Amino acid sequence: MTFEYAPALESRSIVEIKSKYGHFIDGKFVPGKKYFPTLNPATEEVLSQISLGTTSDVDKAVAAAQKAYTKTWSKMSGKERGKYLYRIARILQERAREFAVLETLDNGKPIRETRDIDIPLVAAHFFYHAGWADKLDYAGLGHSPQPYGVAGQIIPWNFPLLMLAWKVAPALATGNTVVLKPAETTSLTALLFAEVCQQAELPNGVVNIVTGDGSTGATIVNHPGIHKIAFTGSTEVGKKIARAIASTDKKATLELGGKGANIVFDDAPIDETVEGIVNGIFFNQGHVCCAGSRLILQESVADEVIEKLKVRMTKIRVGDPLDKNTDLGAINSKEQLLKIGELSAVGDAEGAERWSPACSLSEKGYWFAPTIFTGVTQAHRIAQEEIFGPVLSVLTFRTPQEAIEKANNTPFGLSAGIWSEKGSRIFWASQQLKAGVIWANTFNKFDPASPFGGYKESGWGREGGRHGLAAYLKTGKESGAK
Ligand code: NAI
Ligand code: MG
């Protein structure tokens, strides 16, 4: 027997979207020169027009951030800065529904995720860092660690407001001011966050938001007034940034791609594991740098896991992201949909076997059915390259050592998962895996207290926790401390 779900649409009337937006500089919205549209990827409806940041816009934003840094923010006590962060966190909670609906409209991710995961985590990041603002002397980073000055922050479209929070909250807590650029397809929640800064009466210029594309991002990276860069996005752009700052004294954290291995040992609790596999790759349409996009199954349980996974995948509800029943929303952009389609076609051509459950996809908007490829080998491109979509590559292994070798055999090293009932095996495997984050018997769990970041081409540095604070502070001799 199957159940038909009645539609359960979240109302969009809670958000007011303006017809166009300027940049947020020195506490005010200032009009841009040129505009470009932002779409709802589920319907292709144009939601608003966003300003394309120019060199002069970036200059003004950096000047405002510099002034706010020297005149106000670096002079303020940690306790006072903390009050602003607490205030922002509380306003974000009060306006959580508005942010959740707006994020779903602009990004295409399901309301169930924006409401229950993205926005609560955003508030949690501000609360967590508010608590650190007056305790930096006790963070184990030496006596009186000092901020860098103006941080340039460039974020992607997969977790728009959450990546803003990962960047802005630690920067502000540590006494830096910021110029942030959201991704071109998802600027709306950052612009609503600018309103929150006004509502919290954050001093002008502490947070500046310049919208635009890669050229705007590059202008921020190369600006001489920027002292620290925090970037999340593709490995390709991460490498460009590393090259651009190589001969400067700019500090950088880079959070780049991944090809996370989710390893299932033969003693794993299979039903729970299947839930974890689904969460690992189909959460946020698979637009997750730490997604469990390579499933590595012990041969003796492979058939059972794949069979149960397929049954589970037929229950994934793909559809209107504003519907509270939806599990898998829209792909964020036409470009990303093309990329997912192209890499999946490579999987077919290389001889892997593709499977998706029957599901009807809307003609309008950008959609991709949940997909698994079995018979994948390490040489296949779909085992090596980030697809960044709801596509899982399945490999198998016989011995634990082989599992580790396969798991580590990519240019990346961001995340991994281990499914096993044996604690000793989990400890052994997690010590062998070259990944910044390792989950055991769970996947895609995030907490502001837990540092996040990668090995190899997955990036530099850590965000979150004490390690994340260190990325925004001069420590030891650098700080001029005696
Ligand atoms: P991207 O790296 O081009 O974009 C990320 C951000 O960087 C955006 O704000 C963009 O405007 C900005 N940017 C682009 N070029 C820049 C430059 N030269 N200097 C400074 N900033 C620049 O990523 P894109 O094109 O949106 O996605 C391509 C692929 O990257 C995806 O298919 C996925 O594989 C990966 N990706 C990984 C993410 C992660 O969380 N690690 C997030 C987004 C994408
Ligand atoms: Mg959009």
247 and 266 together in one domain: no
In a domain, 106, yes or no: yes
pLDDT at 1: 54
470 and 436 together in one domain: no
pLDDT at 5: 80
Is 359 labeled as catalytic in the residue annotation?
no
In a domain, 11, yes or no: no
pLDDT at 480: 55
397 and 319 together in one domain: yes
In a domain, 453, yes or no: no
Place of tokens 């860098």: 148
56 and 73 together in one domain: yes
Any idea which ligand is nearest the CA of 155?
A: 1
In a domain, 402, yes or no: yes
pLDDT digits (tens, 9 = 90+) for 272-298: 999 999 999 999 999 999 999 999 999
208 and 340 together in one domain: no
CB distance 85 to ligand 1 below 6 Å: no
213 and 321 together in one domain: no
> Domain range holding 414?
261-447
pLDDT at 482: 41
CB within 8 A of 2, min separation 6: which ones?
A: none
pLDDT at 4: 77
In a domain, 156, yes or no: yes
pLDDT digits (tens, 9 = 90+) for 393-435: 999 999 999 999 999 999 999 999 999 999 999 999 999 999 9
CB distance 289 to ligand 1 below 6 Å: yes
232 and 302 together in one domain: no
In a domain, 318, yes or no: yes
47 and 160 together in one domain: yes
| Pairwise CA distance, residues 181 & 220, whole Å | 8
* Alpha-carbon distance values, 246 to 150, 160, 176, 197, 286 (Å): 18, 28, 22, 33, 32
270 and 246 together in one domain: no
Is 290 labeled as catalytic in the residue annotation?
no
Kindly report the pTM of this predicted structure.
Answer: 0.97
280 and 401 together in one domain: yes
Q: Which residue numbers in the chain have pLDDT < 70?
A: 1-3, 476-482
440 and 467 together in one domain: no
Residue 157 alpha carbon, nearest atom of ligand 1:
43
pLDDT at 477: 60
Query: In total, how many domains does the chain have?
Result: 2
| Pairwise CA distance, residues 242 & 259, whole Å | 21
CATH assignment at residue 387: 3.40.309.10
Nearest residue by C-alpha to atom 28 in ligand 1: 234
Any idea which ligand is nearest the CA of 330?
A: 2
Distance 42 CA to ligand 1 centre (A): 21
CB distance 184 to ligand 1 below 6 Å: yes
Distance 70 CA to ligand 2 centre (A): 35
Q: In this structure, how many other beta carbons lie within 10 angstroms of the beta carbon of residue 247?
A: 7
pLDDT at 481: 47
CATH assignment at residue 54: 3.40.605.10
Distance 192 CA to ligand 2 centre (A): 14
Any idea which ligand is nearest the CA of 332?
A: 2
286 and 419 together in one domain: yes
